[in-house]
Amino acid sequence: MIKDVVCTFCGNACDDIEFEGDYGRNLCPVGEAKFARKERIKTPMINGKEVSYDEAIEKAAEILKSSKRPLLYGWSSTVNEAIRLGVIIAEKLGGIYDQCSSVCHAPTTLAMIEQGIVGGTLGQAKNRADVVVFWGCNPVEAHPRHPTRYSVMARGFLTRGRSDRRVIVVDVRKTPTAYLATDFYMIKPNSDFAIFTALRSIVNGHEEAVPDRVGGLKKEELIELAKTLESAKYGLVFFGLGVTHTRGHERNVEAVIKLVQDLNKKTRYILQPMRGHFNVVGSGEVPAWEVGFEYAIDFSRGYARFSPGEFTAVEALIRGDCDAAMIVASDPVAHFPKKAVERLKKIPVIQIDPHPNLTTKIADVVIPTAIVGIEAEGTIYRMDGVPLRVKKIKDTNYPTDVEIMEKLLEKIVR
C-alpha cells in the first residue's frame, strides 16, 4: 500500500489517500474519476501524424523560436518545477506567460493588490473557526471533501465537530452546500457588493445607513447575519466564483476583504478563496518569485511587465498579439470565448498534456506527458498555499512535463 498520496484534482489537495493497486481509499467520487483510467494521447504528433518525441520537441522549439510573441498558457495542473521552467522559457522567448487564474480568481488577485488579504491555512477552519461562511461557493460539489476534512465536520483543537460550528451559506440558489448550513441566506444575483457594504455598515455601527432591503435580504436579516458574524471567536469566510464572477468582480472581493478587516477590529476573522485546480496557486506563486508577478506577464521588452486585461491570454489572443501558443495541462478551446479560440485556430499551437481534449484537435504539435501525481512527482500548492509533494505511484513510459520543459529550454537558449 502507498500511504499519504496527494489527490491531484481540486484545490483541497487531500493528502491522506492510500493506494492499494488501482483503488484509492479516501478519494471522493470526483477524485476517483481523476485517478481512474482515462483516454491518453498515445504518441507525440505533428499535424495529426505520429512522430517521435525528439521530432515533436524540435518542431515545438522551432515554432516558439520563430514566433514574435508566443503565449505560454495553462500550468494550473502541473508541478512547480515545470512551471518554473515555463516562466524562464517565456522570458527567454520574449513571450507572454499567463495561467488559469486569469479566467477564474484574477479578481481576487486584483483585490489583494488593492487591499491585501486576511488569510490563514485550512487548519484554522479545522481547529479554531466557530463561524464558517460559504459565500458564492459550493464545496459539496466542487471540493467534495472540504466540509469533512477542513471546514464543517472536521474535528479540531478548539472546534471539535459540527456542533461547535455555526455554518452560514450565502448564495443565489439553494445549493447542496446550503443543506449543511445552520443559516442559509438566498440573495439576488449580482448583489454581493451591496450586501457586503451593508454588513460593513452594521459591523461599523452605522445600521441607520442600511436600507430596508438589500439584494433580496430584509434589513432584519442583514442585522442578524452581521450579529452572527460578530459572535464568532474565530470566523472564516470561504468565497468562490459567485463573488468573483458576478457584477462587481474585484470590487466584490475588495468589499469582502474590507468586511473581514473590519471584523478583525472586534474579533478574529480570515478569508479564503476556493481555488479550483490542485496547483492553480503554484502557477501564480512561481512566476511571482521568478519575475515578480502572478499572471498576465509579458516579456517582449526583455523584462517582465504585468498588465491584466492586456497580457491575459484571452485578451492577447483576441487582439491578435500572439502568433503562436503553447498550452500546458489545460484546455482553453473548451473554456475560452469564441473569438479567442478562433485566434488559437489560426496560429501554430503546441499542446503538452497527458489527456486528449478539445485543444488537441486544433494543436499543430501534441506532446503527451506523464500524469502529475500518478506517474510524475513534484511540488504543488493547496488552495491555502500549503506546499505538498505529489507522488509517483505508477511507472510509465511517458516523459514528465519537467523533462519536456528542460529539453525545450535547452533548445531555446542554445
Angle between helices 80-93 and 53-66 (to 10 degrees): 40
Task: Measure the N-to-C terminal CA separation of the chain; round to a whole number of Å.
Answer: 44
- Binding residues for other proteins, rule CB under 8 A, total 65
When binding is defined by CB under 8 A, the residue of 25, 190, 231, 303 that contacts other proteins is 303
Q: How many CB atoms sit inside 10 A of residue 189's CB?
A: 13
User: If binding is defined by CB under 6 A, does position 279 make contact with ligand SF4?
Assistant: no
Identify what 291 binds: ligand SF4, other proteins, none; CB under 5 to 8 Å per kind: other proteins
Binding residues among 71-90 for other proteins as defined by CB under 8 A: 80, 84, 88
Binding mask 127-166 for other proteins (x = CB under 8 A): xx--------------------xx----xxx---------
> Who's near 237: CB < 8 A, 6+ residues apart?
133, 135, 256, 259, 260, 269, 270, 271, 272
> Who's near 75: CB < 8 A, 6+ residues apart?
82, 83, 86, 99, 100, 279, 282, 283, 328, 329, 330
CA distance 97 to 313: 8
CB of 8 to ligand SF4, least distance (A): 8
User: If binding is defined by CB under 6 A, does position 144 make contact with ligand SF4?
Assistant: yes
Contact (CB, 8 A) for 24 and 17: yes
Closer Cβ to ligand SF4, 7 or 271, answer by number: 7
Q: Kindly state the cell numbers that stand for 395.
A: 511507472
Q: Kindly state the cell numbers that stand for 260.
A: 473581514
Q: In a 10 Å sphere around its CB, with 0-12 CB exposed, 13-18 middle and 19+ buried, how is residue 100 labelled? A: buried
Closer Cβ to other proteins, 139 or 356, answer by number: 139
Give 222-281 as a DSSP string: HHHHHHHHHT-SEEEEEE-HHHHTSTTTHHHHHHHHHHHHHHHTTSEEEEEE---BTTTT
CA nearest neighbour of 330 among 363, 301, 297? 363
Closer Cβ to ligand SF4, 12 or 244, answer by number: 12
User: If binding is defined by CB under 6 A, does position 9 make contact with ligand SF4?
Assistant: yes
User: If binding is defined by CB under 6 A, does position 280 make contact with ligand SF4?
Assistant: no
Closer Cβ to ligand SF4, 36 or 209, answer by number: 36
Binding mask 12-41 for ligand SF4 (x = CB under 6 A): xxx------------xx-xx----------
Helix (H) / strand (E) containing 406? helix 401-413
Closer Cβ to ligand SF4, 139 or 399, answer by number: 139
When binding is defined by CB under 6 A, the residue of 5, 10, 181, 324 that contacts ligand SF4 is 10
Residue 186 pairs in a beta bridge with 171
User: If binding is defined by CB under 6 A, does position 282 make contact with ligand SF4?
Assistant: no
User: If binding is defined by CB under 8 A, does position 112 make contact with other proteins?
Assistant: yes
CB of 386 to other proteins, least distance (A): 6
User: If binding is defined by CB under 8 A, does position 264 make contact with other proteins?
Assistant: yes
Q: Is 291 left (phi over 0), alpha (psi -120 to 50) or beta?
A: alpha
Binding mask 279-298 for other proteins (x = CB under 8 A): -----xxx-xxxxxxx----
Closer Cβ to ligand SF4, 18 or 403, answer by number: 18
Closer Cβ to other proteins, 281 or 325, answer by number: 281
Contact (CB, 8 A) for 375 and 390: no
When binding is defined by CB under 8 A, the residue of 243, 270, 347, 402 that contacts other proteins is 270
CB of 15 to ligand SF4, least distance (A): 9
Return residues touching ligand SF4 (CB under 6 A). Answer: 7, 9-10, 12-14, 27-28, 30-31, 143-145
Return residues touching other proteins (CB under 8 A). Answer: 3-4, 6, 15-16, 80, 84, 88, 91-92, 94, 109, 112-124, 126-128, 149-150, 155-157, 233-234, 261, 264-265, 267-268, 270, 284-286, 288-294, 299, 301-306, 379, 381, 385-389
